[in-house]
Structures are given as structure tokens and as C-alpha cells.
A and B are shown apart, each in its own frame.
Chain A
């Protein structure tokens, strides 16, 4: 069964840092691009970042560019999101999702999604 499972969420002060992890299983991890998507409490979904299967290509939403870094360790089947200079508006449930191609292309879709990990930015 194809699964992804996030971890690493928690409470962090404004200006702080946090690293999220996403453990993948049931598929050849290095053959697929991956994405992070967040959902603010009671609100909609916002794509955050994507990375190609090799890790050579990364993309970011303007709202996180320069503050967040996406990476992957294909030897550990794990995706990461390093978040720094966190703001209150970064408070959200963060989901990782498997894309449908090794490269990040417009035609991809997300399947499956993990169960999410909650990040709360507050003093």
C-alpha cells in the first residue's frame, strides 16, 4: 500500500524554526516528485513547495520563498520541510503528498496525501 506519514509538527515561537518529515512507503520513492500542502484551521488548502524525484528541482509558493526549504533523502525514503523565520500566519496542518511523475510538471496530481501534522506559531 502506498503511504506517506508526516511528523515533526508542534508549537514554535514567532521567528523560530521547525523541520517536518514525511516517511514514504509502498512505492519507489526516488521515482516520484513530492509536495507539501498546508491548511490553515478552518480554511482552505495552499500548496507550499514541491521537489523532483532526484531532488535537483524545487519550487516554492511566494508566501514561503526564502524562509522554507524542501529536501529529500532517497536513501531513507523521507521528505523534509525546513521552516524558518516562522510567522503566525504559517500556523496550519501541513500535508505531504506524492505526485504522479518524477519531475514537477503541471499535469501531476496528488495521490495519496498523508494525515497531516499541525504546526502552531505562537508566543
Chain B
């Protein structure tokens, strides 16, 4: 059971906009920045959003992040086949005094 709750799956067709949610509590998302990681099949996770809504260099501007209260979301617009991957949200939990991850969302491009 992950501290942060994510839907196990999401899907969309090429060109569509897809949103992945991440829900937590006041001790984690509510008081800390959230980061998002993309894990392509058989590879290591890769940072796609940091500090709630910032994109690292090299990440397409189709990826965006937002946070409100104890929830956050990752949006991918203009969906492409290469976006098919697992996506994880992550943050710090003040009560646990450590980092926590969501359970991951498997994004399928139909």
C-alpha cells in the first residue's frame, strides 16, 4: 500500500491529452514539492517534472505538472506512442521523515 495514491492505469489515443492524478495528505503533498518520474519498459526511471511544475531540459513541453492542496497531477498533451510508460509521483513525507512514491500509473497509448 503506497503512501501516495495513483490510478493503476490510464490510456489515450495519439494526440489526446491525458491526466494522471496523485493523492496524498498534509504531511506529504500538502507541505512539500512533488516530482514525477517516467519509467519506459525495461529501463530506469527518468525525471520528467520537478518542484510541482518544472520541466528538466530535454523533456517536451507536452508534459506539465500541477499541485493543489494534497493532490497533484501530471498532464501529457499531444500523446505519442513513445509516452507509453509507467509514471510515478514522489515527494517527502514529514511524518515518515523520508521520501515516498505513488504506486505508479501504467499509461497505454491505444
Contacts and interface: CB of A to CB of B under 8 A. Distances in A.
The main secondary structure of chain A at its interface with chain B is loop
B44 A115 contact: yes
A49 B50 CA distance: 20
Nearest to B102: A44
Interface stretch (B9-17, B32-40, B77-85): B32-40
Contacts of A37: 45, 101
The range of chain A's interface size is: 20 to 34
A47 B101 contact: yes
B110 interface: no
B88 A106 contact: no
A114 B44 CA distance: 7
Given A45-B104, A106-B33, A109-B35, A95 B99 contact: no
A113 B45 CA distance: 7
Given A95-B45, A113-B44, A107 B104 contact: no
Given A44-B88, A45-B104, A47-B101, A110 B37 contact: yes
A95 B45 CA distance: 9
A44 B46 contact: no
Given A44-B102, A46-B101, A61-B98, A107 B44 contact: no
A46 B102 CA distance: 9
Contacts of B109: none
Interface of B: 2, 32-33, 35, 37, 43-47, 50-51, 56, 88, 90-92, 94, 96-104
Interface of A: 35, 37, 44-47, 50, 59-62, 95, 100, 106-107, 109-116
